[in-house]
Structure 1
Amino acid sequence: MTIRNLQYLFSPASVAVIGASQKEHSVGATVLNNLVEAGFHGRIFPVNPKYDSLRGLKTYASVGSLPVVPELAVICTPPASVPGLIAELGAKGTRAAIVLTAGLSLHPDGQALSIKQMMLDAAKPHLLRILGPNCVGLLVPGIGLNASFAHTGALPGKLAFVSQSGALVTGVLEWAKTRGIGFSKFISLGDNADVDFADVLDYLAGDANTYAILMYVEDIKHARKFMSAARAAARSKPVLVVKAGRAAEGAKAAASHTGALAGSDAVYDAAIRRAGMLRVFTTEDLFGAVETLAHAKSMNGERLTILTNGGGPGVMATDALIFGQGKLAAMPAPVIAQLDEVLPSTWSHGNPVDIIGDAPAERYVKALEILLKNPESDAVLFIQAPTAIVPSLDIASAIVPLLKETSRNVISCWLGSNASAPARQLFSNAGIPTYDTPEEAVRGFMQIVQYRRNQHLLMQVPPSLAVDFVPDRERARAVAAAALAEGRNILSEPEAKIMLAAYGIPVVETRIARSAEQAVQFAQEIGFPVALKVLSPEISHKTEVGGVVLDLETAEAVGKAAQSIQQRLSELRPDATLQGYSVQSMARRPDAQELIVGVTTDAVFGPVILFGQGGIAVEVIDDNTIGLPPLNMVLARDMISRTRVAKLLAGYRDRPAADVDAVCRALIRISQLVSDIAEIAELDINPLLADAKGVLALDARIRVVVADKEAGVDRLAIRPYPAELEQLVDWQGQALLLRPIRPEDGEAHVDFFHAMLPEDIRLRMFIRMRELQPDQLARFTQIDYDRDMAFIATRKRDDGRDETLGVVRAMADPGNEKVEFAVTVRSDLKGKGLGSILMAKLVEYCRARGIQEIVGEALSENVGVLNLVKRVGFEVKPVPGEAVMALRLDLRGEKLA
């Protein structure tokens, strides 16, 4: 649904406890006791016909007898009673309920609908929001709300915790309370029949009382909704995730290597990364990471300097860093020279920087002053082992002022317990992340690194491709349609290569031979050497039946190879049908790396893309990574960088580096292929050869299924660029293209900004700005097309690049019912009708999406925009007490109150 009415869930003025009781250890009694003991700020109404009063509160016999409409209801009654209670509450005016009851998946008396569905049907007419069922409840300590049956309460704080597991809820509450960790919201989702992760993320993203969101996730039901909400929330505050179920559930039967390799946990990992969130693997790491990120400063690189007063801890930290895929900072000669002047001659002369165990506080300060200015370092890990020579607190007191002033990230590790406790507390009070062991400290640093990487993927403005690419979609669709019309799900290798070629993937010349004689003929026409491969719909992996013979140099060799393939097939797979052979030109690329690029369809997130090291042993090598389409150059390059084969692609010894851009383009085109062709369920290119000359697909396998073409992009977890919204219009006698903005428009958008007069920028932004900051540019150009829209008017410049002339934006609420708009035209083009064209495009789009209302604001002096929106039909009203006009357009065809 949306965040509609969630304010009554998280900030109610009154609560009714339906099923309240005085029976010891019952859910009804526990909830009522928790509400009273927590000191809820609002009114509490127990509901139970068996009692006149409970906990000193007047108790009511039924919902109907309540004297006022409760803003929130907590239901603790048996399953069969829940739908009726929801209907009664909705009719009375209640708009939020927590259903603690379990067992609602049952179908009473053989009815078609489950109790859960009856409950949802009862709530729908009233837009009554339901948390649960089968949940522990909800705690909002800031208002004294403990609407749960947890055994303990929560301290107030700024963290929101959201969990699917009820058992984990109670455990984390206990764990956090003993450590003094507080919460803004503590939410048990249970079966999340209505309110789910996406709804909660949307609400918490705008909650001023929450600075970070922590989640325990077991499964996601609505991937597109979740990804949109997660990406929006991660733009505004840290979102950290523990995902349960990491262990592989066993190899899956699949028609492709990709289908077998792409386990569900890897897909969730890719989704979390793409959404700009951070994944951790234990509950303790979850809270440790949020404290680290809360104090983390901006960091452009990932190079760590380790400063220690003991060699052992430094070595331990180095091992943890290297095995965690981290980077040690280099120590340039000038830095070493500076350190030589302040450190004893026995210091380590490298990184880790061991300043020797007898170091006084002054030595720490001088060393840190030098290291914090090292241009080859991005962060410092400070490790101190307690000694009898200098108290740890003296060292901490000396260096805290320096660390407060630095722009670099500093992470600390105070070894020991009692002796280091005061120093550790002093650092914590100063906002410096502090850990007990070198390994924990390095893990904290790597969490900052990974979070920054994920945020970069979320906020990046990628470069445009070198050339425009237009695929032959109809040709690819025809191949899939022909196979399905014949009742086949597996394309032949030549068919698969036709589809790849239609999307610009280089393939070797391939011909289909129906007999050994025809294979010889085609080999002679192609030219030797050739490769011969079995063609059989029952055979997915040809090498398993000896169905691939390479480097055939003569016609005689081709004939013998065909006979051998036929014989091996009949012996090993007598059930398989030999349809012929594929004859291919033999690719001679000795420096090439064998890669795999594939697609499979995840049950939750839809199509996902796999990249890694290819070859016949691809499952054994297990060097691969997963990404979610759509992709661009930055996202494709990130996928490549997360594999071991990336180092081979970079070149080594006398082998030149591969054309990584060509590999990226192949990934992007496969992403486009799966976005366009809904019939593709699985795809393998294995191997995809990559060398300095580019890429070449040697073998390909594609499985297709009957699909609903109209809902093609709905399969994707992230909505791709909506090309169908592009429109050519005539303006001032020239053709303009109106289209949704793309990340690749970043450079043109900067030029557009610089072409604006300062006064026009002030009228648009309400503030004076000289430059667009990178994060602002990313927000403007990288949008979630499921929620927001920005149409630009663009034309080609003389140098062939796109030029942005104007932009109109619509930022939707999570329910896609109301959008806030803004429109800007380049300063030198104002008054020529371009704003009207853009506004008409936006209104047409909003009507098509079912948007009910378009709203906005403009300064009272912005006469141009005010006249423009009046012509479109907007209501324009002054905002009391401000020099601002409120703008509204009702798309329902009726005046708004």
Structure 2
Amino acid sequence: MTIRNLDFLLRPRRIVICGAPRTASHRQILANLERSKPVLQRYTLGFDREGWGSAQADTPPIVELGIVFEPDSLPVATLGRLIESGCRALLWGADEAPSQAVLEAARPQRVRILGPRSGGVAWPGLALNATTYEQPIGKGRVALIAQSSSVAAAALDWAAGRELGFSWVAVTGGEADVDIGDLLDTAAVDPISHAVVLQMSRLKSARKFMSAARACARNKPVLVLQTPPHGIGLRDPVRSAALQRAGLIECEVLGGLFDGIAALERLPNQQRFRVIVAGNGAGVCALGLAAIGRHGLQYTDLAASSRTAISGIFAGTRFLAGSVDLCGAPPESIARIVRALSEDPGVDSVLLMHSPRAGQPHDQTAQAVAGLGLGARVLTVWLGLETALQARAYSSEMTVPTFASADEAMRALRYRQQYRSTQELLMQTPPPLDLPQIDREKISGLLAAAARHGTAMEPALTAEVMSHYGLSMAADKADSTLVVEVAILRHEEFGQYLRVRGSALWSGRGAAHGFAPLDPLLARRLLEEAGVVAAMARRGWDAAAYAAVLVHIGQMLVDQPAIANAVLRLAPDARGLPILLPDSTLTLTDAPEPPRRRLALAPYPADLAQGVTLKQGREFHIRVVRPADETAVIRLLERSDPENIRLRFFGYIRQFSHAMAARLTQLDYDREIAFVAIPRGTARIVALAHLIADPDAGSAEFSLLVHQDFARVGLGRFLLGELVRHGRRQGIHTVFGEILAENWPMLSLARALGFTVRHARHDPGSMHAEIQTGAPAHVQ
């Protein structure tokens, strides 16, 4: 729906209780609210409860959040009066879902409903706790979003036991309205939340979820635990592929979710992850090294100067590969050695493994290490149980990361590493797409005609359709041990997807799953995951041709909704190039799903491309930017006048980084668009016009840069008008932009197009330009 009014749900100042508490969970919400911020104003509606003001059948004068225990206590007429008094959110604690009448009454003012069966919300920084949980919830920097109340309860209890807190907590329950996508959008723009931990079991709209997840993961780490409603707890590999494509970090088990909370709250966002083990015994060191290996991390050795310094601290220290055996060092010496390890230039993290040996008690060692003030550079593992409890509690209290085992510690560190590597993968610049010239309408006509005669396509027609997408049919069946199978299938939540697998005899891997559209980098990663790249390399063949075929098949999936599913079997010819085997099949449907149900990701909007002739007969090709345009966009920025750059970006920029260019070219087309202008007969990008919608899709912010050599030919006017027209088509009501006060050409252009221009509220040096997309005729 939107993130609008979610502030009233997460941070209300005035609350009304609707109905009497009927369950222990309801009573816990009341008990937690009693301990919440004293200035929080609370009212009752329909029952008498001492301490909550007088019982009243009418409504309080001003209210922001209603907590519903009894649906009958909130008839539509009463809800209408609450809305008139300012209510914009309902926490639906009842098991019964809101009636359709309530949902319809809430819609005009966008009153948000969390539930039914919601576990509630908490914002510890404001001392607000409206949850069903007994555990105290401390302040932190990680937002917890969950669909399951029981999983949230376990996570909160675990965090409380380790002195870890949250920026805020929201448990959605049955999701009659507010869902995890809405909350991810909220977390994405929340400056208090530096990371997000998410538990999900079901999705109503995969396209909405993917868009929100990608937006959030672009800004901060998102760790997710999937608990599918079907499959008796088994991980869904298609879901996992979707989470990876969105940039989320998946944990496989509930314990991983707990470790992730510690990783995101306590561990820094490091550049590198080289680990040294310090343990009071060779066996203890071996445990740490084994955990490093199991989690794919890298151990490191010490510089000679560090070894000399450590030997001077305690002569009995032994140096092993990737570890330091502390032997019988006393607690004070252990602390000094840990400091020396942390100062070694080749060490990023110290894993301290400590066993309760004679002369080396846990508690004294924990205090000595905590006193160093090294924070997250040291990960501690206090082995044992009874004697370890106090050391763990003390470490948590002193904000030293502490774990029950080396595996837990290394899993937490791995999550941090995975976030960094995932971001690097997501921001890689793909090579230009080399798609064949495709007559989509002709192919659609062929498929529509075939669908009228049944769902299975004839082999000859399959061969004809595939030839348009760059695949020729083999005359004879090839060796089945060299087959790569590409299937188009449908997932219950994520719509159509691709499954790639090689013959078991030569790939040695399972299936890989992906989503259209693909670029060459994504296609190659699918082939690598399926074992195809390695198998072909052993035969001296390059997998680039197979990656190109995958891109084409993904484009076919996007172009042709009449294809319900497919099994395309590819075999290498004598040169190792892919050909289509005759037993490949396409299955059709004459009732394809709508695009948002069929495709989890927004495809490239090729239909927005156009040619335009402007002043002086200057001709331009206008299209939407692609990720492969990164180099051309950097050249535009580098060749632009520095003053133009300052006016566009509100400051001088000396160097244009890959990260900056990737942000301008790698777009979620559901939320943003960027048009580029290319002079006819060239490949040079000379203008870039950007429009980014808020998650509400109610308003969108524009920006515009035109190279100085192409000023005063009407290019800026055309592109800004095109952004407004696109906003109108997308249902965006308001297009706005922030413009420096001295940027008079941009201000003049905005006024000429019908924008209202006024001083920006929070920046005296800027102007705010705004237009309602349905109004002016001069941008038609």
Give the TM-score, by structure 2 length.
0.87
* 1:118 to 1:632, Cα distance in 2 relative to 1, 3 A: same
Among 756, 762, 766, which residue is 1:884 paired with?
Answer: 766
Tell me which amino acid in the other structure corresponds to 2:449: A
> Does 2:465 correspond to 1:499?
yes
2:483 aligned residue: 594
Tell me by how many angstroms 1:825 deviates: 0.9
> Does 2:685 correspond to 1:804?
yes
Tell me by how many angstroms 1:665 deviates: 1.4
2:755 aligned residue: 874
* 1:135 to 1:586, Cα distance in 2 relative to 1, 3 A: closer
* 1:18 to 1:389, Cα distance in 2 relative to 1, 3 A: closer
Tell me which amino acid in the other structure corresponds to 2:6: L
Cα-Cα RMSD: 3.8
Q: Distance in 2 between matches of 1:641 and 1:304?
A: 28
Tell me which amino acid in the other structure corresponds to 2:719: L
Tell me if structure 2 keeps the 8 A contact 1:435–1:441: yes
Among 164, 188, 192, which residue is 2:147 paired with?
Answer: 164
Q: Secondary structure at the match of 2:684?
A: strand
Tell me if structure 1 keeps the 8 A contact 2:698–2:733: yes
Among 248, 252, 257, which residue is 1:277 paired with?
Answer: 248
Tell me if structure 2 keeps the 8 A contact 1:594–1:615: no
1:536 aligned residue: none
Tell me by how many angstroms 1:173 deviates: 3.6
* 1:411 to 1:456, Cα distance in 2 relative to 1, 3 A: farther
Tell me if structure 2 keeps the 8 A contact 1:461–1:781: no
1:72 aligned residue: 65
Among 735, 739, 742, which residue is 1:861 paired with?
Answer: 742
Tell me if structure 1 keeps the 8 A contact 2:148–2:173: yes
* 1:404 to 1:137, Cα distance in 2 relative to 1, 3 A: closer
Q: Distance in 2 between matches of 1:834 and 1:162?
A: 45
1:585 aligned residue: 476
Q: Distance in 2 between matches of 1:231 and 1:772?
A: 23
Tell me which amino acid in the other structure corresponds to 1:664: A
Tell me if structure 2 keeps the 8 A contact 1:475–1:499: no
Tell me if structure 2 keeps the 8 A contact 1:503–1:669: yes
Gaps of at least 5 residues in structure 1 are 105-114, 251-262, 509-583
2:622 aligned residue: 738
Among 40, 44, 47, which residue is 1:46 paired with?
Answer: 44
Among 16, 19, 32, which residue is 1:34 paired with?
Answer: 32
Q: Distance in 2 between matches of 1:683 and 1:607?
A: 11
Q: Distance in 1 between matches of 2:219 and 2:619?
A: 39
Give the TM-score, by structure 1 length.
0.77
2:722 aligned residue: 841
Tell me if structure 2 keeps the 8 A contact 1:47–1:59: no
Q: Secondary structure at the match of 1:814?
A: coil
Tell me if structure 2 keeps the 8 A contact 1:79–1:101: no
* 1:327 to 1:28, Cα distance in 2 relative to 1, 3 A: closer
Task: Summarize deviations over 1:701-752 as a string: whole Å, max 9, x none.
Answer: 222212348x446521110110011111124434321111111111111111
Tell me which amino acid in the other structure corresponds to 1:99: W
Q: Distance in 2 between matches of 1:292 and 1:631?
A: 32
Tell me if structure 1 keeps the 8 A contact 2:484–2:571: yes
Tell me if structure 1 keeps the 8 A contact 2:182–2:212: yes
Q: Secondary structure at the match of 1:38?
A: coil
1:90 aligned residue: 83
> Does 2:56 correspond to 1:61?
yes
Among 625, 637, 641, which residue is 2:528 paired with?
Answer: 641
Tell me by how many angstroms 1:495 deviates: 3.1
Tell me if structure 2 keeps the 8 A contact 1:274–1:457: no
Q: Distance in 2 between matches of 1:40 and 1:235?
A: 37
Task: Summarize deviations over 1:38-81 as a string: whole Å, max 9, x none.
Answer: 23532111112x54xx223432432xx23413111111114595
Tell me which amino acid in the other structure corresponds to 1:853: T
* 1:436 to 1:650, Cα distance in 2 relative to 1, 3 A: farther
> Does 2:239 correspond to 1:268?
yes
Task: Summarize deviations over 1:433-464 as a string: whole Å, max 9, x none.
Answer: 44332222332232223323332344333232
Q: Distance in 2 between matches of 1:382 and 1:595?
A: 47
Tell me if structure 1 keeps the 8 A contact 2:299–2:322: no
Tell me by how many angstroms 1:295 deviates: 5.0
Q: Distance in 1 between matches of 2:74 and 2:631?
A: 60
1:205 aligned residue: 188
2:422 aligned residue: 454
Task: Summarize deviations over 1:353-379 as a string: whole Å, max 9, x none.
Answer: 455736765776666666x438xxx86
Q: Distance in 1 between matches of 2:29 and 2:596?
A: 45
Tell me by how many angstroms 1:634 deviates: 2.3
Q: Secondary structure at the match of 1:600?
A: strand
* 1:663 to 1:349, Cα distance in 2 relative to 1, 3 A: farther
* 1:17 to 1:388, Cα distance in 2 relative to 1, 3 A: same
Q: Distance in 2 between matches of 1:436 and 1:342?
A: 30
> Does 2:198 correspond to 1:232?
no
Among 765, 777, 785, which residue is 2:649 paired with?
Answer: 765
* 1:771 to 1:381, Cα distance in 2 relative to 1, 3 A: farther
Tell me if structure 2 keeps the 8 A contact 1:3–1:815: yes
* 1:833 to 1:386, Cα distance in 2 relative to 1, 3 A: farther
Tell me which amino acid in the other structure corresponds to 1:883: G
* 1:338 to 1:673, Cα distance in 2 relative to 1, 3 A: farther
Tell me if structure 2 keeps the 8 A contact 1:266–1:626: yes
Tell me which amino acid in the other structure corresponds to 2:658: P
Task: Summarize deviations over 1:849-893 as a string: whole Å, max 9, x none.
Answer: 122111111111111211111111111112366111111112242
Among 238, 259, 262, which residue is 1:288 paired with?
Answer: 259
Deviates more, 1:217-226 or 1:499-508: 499-508
Task: Summarize deviations over 1:2-22 as a string: whole Å, max 9, x none.
Answer: 01121211222211101146x
> Does 2:327 correspond to 1:357?
yes
- Percent identity between the aligned chains? 29
Deviates more, 1:312-321 or 1:839-848: 312-321
Q: Distance in 1 between matches of 2:760 and 2:254?
A: 47
Q: Secondary structure at the match of 1:686?
A: strand
Tell me if structure 2 keeps the 8 A contact 1:680–1:705: yes
* 1:210 to 1:363, Cα distance in 2 relative to 1, 3 A: closer
Tell me by how many angstroms 1:633 deviates: 2.1
2:159 aligned residue: 176
2:13 aligned residue: 13
Deviates more, 1:391-400 or 1:131-140: 391-400
2:662 aligned residue: 778
* 1:19 to 1:431, Cα distance in 2 relative to 1, 3 A: closer
Larger Rg: 1
Tell me which amino acid in the other structure corresponds to 1:768: Y
Deviates more, 1:814-823 or 1:409-418: 409-418
1:469 aligned residue: 436
1:111 aligned residue: none
> Does 2:502 correspond to 1:613?
yes
* 1:291 to 1:485, Cα distance in 2 relative to 1, 3 A: same
Task: Summarize deviations over 1:290-343 as a string: whole Å, max 9, x none.
Answer: 33244555556777665656443444445445454x254687xxx898889789
Among 691, 701, 710, which residue is 1:829 paired with?
Answer: 710
Q: Distance in 1 between matches of 2:527 and 2:110?
A: 46
Tell me which amino acid in the other structure corresponds to 1:648: A
Tell me if structure 2 keeps the 8 A contact 1:137–1:149: yes
Q: Secondary structure at the match of 1:193?
A: coil
Task: Summarize deviations over 1:463-495 as a string: whole Å, max 9, x none.
Answer: 324x45333434543442233121x21223443
Q: Distance in 2 between matches of 1:301 and 1:759?
A: 37
Tell me which amino acid in the other structure corresponds to 1:830: A
Tell me if structure 1 keeps the 8 A contact 2:692–2:701: yes
Q: Secondary structure at the match of 1:803?
A: coil
Tell me if structure 2 keeps the 8 A contact 1:152–1:174: yes
Q: Secondary structure at the match of 1:641?
A: helix
